[in-house]
Amino acid sequence: MNAPPPTFLSASLDDDALAHALASGAAEVLLALRAEVDAAGGSFDAKELKDAGDAAAQEWLAAALASARPDDAVLSEEAKDDASRTGADRVWIIDPLDGTREFAERHADGPLAGQWRDDFAVHVALWERGAGLTSGAVALPARAQVLTTADGVVPDDDTAAVLAGDRPLRIAASRSRPPAFVAALAERDDVELVPMGSAGVKMMAVADATVDAYVHGGGQYEWDSAAPVAVARSRGLVCTRLDGSELEYNRENPWLPDLFVCPPALAPRLRELLDTVGVESVVGADSKEGA
C-alpha cells in the first residue's frame, strides 16, 4: 500500500496551528489508504491495513514534526521511546492511529452495512514543562473533523436534564470490553452505555455533548489521552484520574491506569455513581469540580 509523501509544514505555524496541521495531514494519509483499497475493488486483509495505517501515519507525522519543530522531543505509540524526552522542555505526544481496529473495519450489518467505520482518530498534543498540555488536536478523519484547543467551542449544557432525572446519564463505552464497573453502572435505569471505538472518539463525544461522560479503567498510555484531554479541557470539561487525582504526562513510564471525563456539573453525581460500584474518589477539598 502507498501513502501520500511527507508534507513539510512551515516552522512559522504557532503550536495550535501546527497541531491542527499535523492531525489533518495524518488523517489524509489514513483516508488515502482506504481509498486505495476501494480503488482496488474493496477487498483487504484487516491486519495488513491496520499495520499500513499505523506505519504510514507515523512516518508522515515524524517527518512533518522533524521539519517544523526539529528541537522538540516526541513520544509516539508507533516509535521507540527515547527516555531523554523526560528532560526536554517540549514534548509532542502523538498517537498516529487511535482505534486501529475500527480503521480497518466495515459495518457488518444494519443500514450502514458495507461502509467503513468512522470511529477512529489521530491524536497530536504538545506538553511543555511547567505548563502541562498546552496545545492539542484530535482528527476524526472519516467524519472530516478536527477538534483543537484553539476552537473555543463549548458544548451545550444539557446536564440539568440528567441531574433532574429526566433522561439517563450517557456514558461512552468500549464496543467489546467495557470495564466491569462500567458494565455494573449500565445495570442502573439512570445510566445508558453508548458503545463506540477509539479513546479519542469517546472523549470527543463528551466534548461535543453526544454523550455525558467517559470513564475508563484497565489502563491506557499517555498517547491515548493527551490530545483528547487537551481538547476536552479547552472546552471546560473535568479530566482526571478516576479517583480525582491529576493526570500527569511525559513521565518515564507513560502508562496511565484510568481516566474520568465529564462536564463539571455532572462530576459530583458521576463520582457518587462510581462509589456505588466500588470506584472510590479522593477528590481534594480544593477541587473545583461542580463549580
Partnered with residue 122 across adjacent β-strands are 139
State how far the Cα of 168 lies from the Cα of 120, in Å rounded to an integer: 26
Q: Which of 41, 240, 15, 201 is nearest to 123 (CA)?
A: 201
95's CB contacts (< 8 A; 6+ apart) are 76, 77, 121, 122, 123, 200, 223, 224, 227
In the three-class reduction of DSSP (H, G, I as helix; E, B as strand; rest coil), residue 8 is classed as coil
Is 272 a known ligand-binding residue?
no
CA dihedral 62, 64, 67, 69 (to 10 degrees): -80
Is 147 a known ligand-binding residue?
no
- Answer yes or no: is pLDDT of 253 > 80: yes
Per-residue pLDDT at 235: 93
Is 224 a known ligand-binding residue?
yes
Return the CATH number of 15-148, one of 3.40.50.1000, 3.40.50.360, 3.30.413.10, 3.30.540.10. 3.30.540.10
How confident is residue 285, by pLDDT bands cut at 50, 70 and 90?
very low
Mean residue pLDDT of the chain comes to 91
pTM score above 0.95:
no
- The CATH class for the domain spanning 159-277 reads alpha beta
State how far the Cα of 97 lies from the Cα of 100, in Å rounded to an integer: 6
Is 98 a known ligand-binding residue?
yes
Sign of CA dihedral 235, 241, 244, 247: negative
- Answer yes or no: is pLDDT of 283 > 60: no
Residue 223 backbone dihedrals phi, psi, to 5 degrees: -70, -20
Q: What is the mean pLDDT of residues 171-182?
A: 83
Domain ranges for the chain, please list them: 15-148, 159-277
How confident is residue 9, by pLDDT bands cut at 50, 70 and 90?
confident
Are the CB atoms for 32 and 4 separated by under 8 Å? yes
Percent of the residues in the chain that have a pLDDT greater than 70, as a whole number: 93
